[in-house]
Amino acid sequence: MARRPSLPCAVVGILLLALLPSPSTAGDPDLLQDICVADLTSAVKVNGFACRAAVTEDDFYFKGLAAAGNTNNTYGSVVTGANVEKLPGLNTLGVSMSRIDYAPGGLNPPHTHPRATEMVFVLQGTLDVGFITTANKLYAKTISAGDVFVFPRGLVHFQKNNGDTPAAVISAFNSQLPGTQSLAMTLFTASPEVPNGVLTKAFQVGTKEVEKIKSRVAPKKS
């Protein structure tokens, strides 16, 4: 019996790659039903949240972005999230939003979103914004009311209000729970603590300076 000709290895490899999801374009996993309202109390651990049986219209409703947040804090900015934790109906839908308010001089300090790209739309005021690539290249711009700016997924970015009046943006994310890692908070308030020897060598400062930073960025006790 004659053997069937086999596909060249290169062709097989291309076919396999075509069947794999693209990590560069992937957001949250695709949904497999119309809705899957998050059961935030469930002990079941999945990539997202388990679905809740009892569903109402309020699971898809949130009015927390209408009013400005309280910016009376160390950085002079506050983020109000509309993610799956506040809006259970977002579960499996791969989107979320937030509102960020800035006092005059307020800063949303350098941070990353490990699970989402962020797009901001300026509601009011003027902001200096920027992100840094893995090649250490800074892309920065001044944006004003009506402008849009994008921060690519996982890259360190910031927003600073250098104006004399309050500013605010609406942020959109391609994840139901994008996650936020503030560089200062992550390094200087981790639990257990990052060893001082790591921080002093990384930032080329002494132990006293590290302890001073820790005391300043530590969350205030109520």
| 118 is an annotated ligand-binding site residue | yes
| 70 is an annotated ligand-binding site residue | no
Beta carbons of 122 and 144 less than 8 angstroms apart: yes
H or E element at residue 197: helix 196-203
Return the C-alpha torsion angle 27, 31, 32, 33, nearest 10: 180
| 83 is an annotated ligand-binding site residue | no
Number of C-beta neighbours around residue 213 at 10 A? 17
H or E element at residue 109: strand 107-112
| 111 is an annotated ligand-binding site residue | yes
| 113 is an annotated ligand-binding site residue | yes
Short-list 72, 89, 74, 83, CA closest to 36: 89
> How many residues appear in the chain?
222
Binding site, annotated residues:
108, 111, 113, 118, 157
Binding site, annotated residues for Mn(2+):
111, 113, 118, 157
Binding site, annotated residues for oxalate:
108, 113, 118
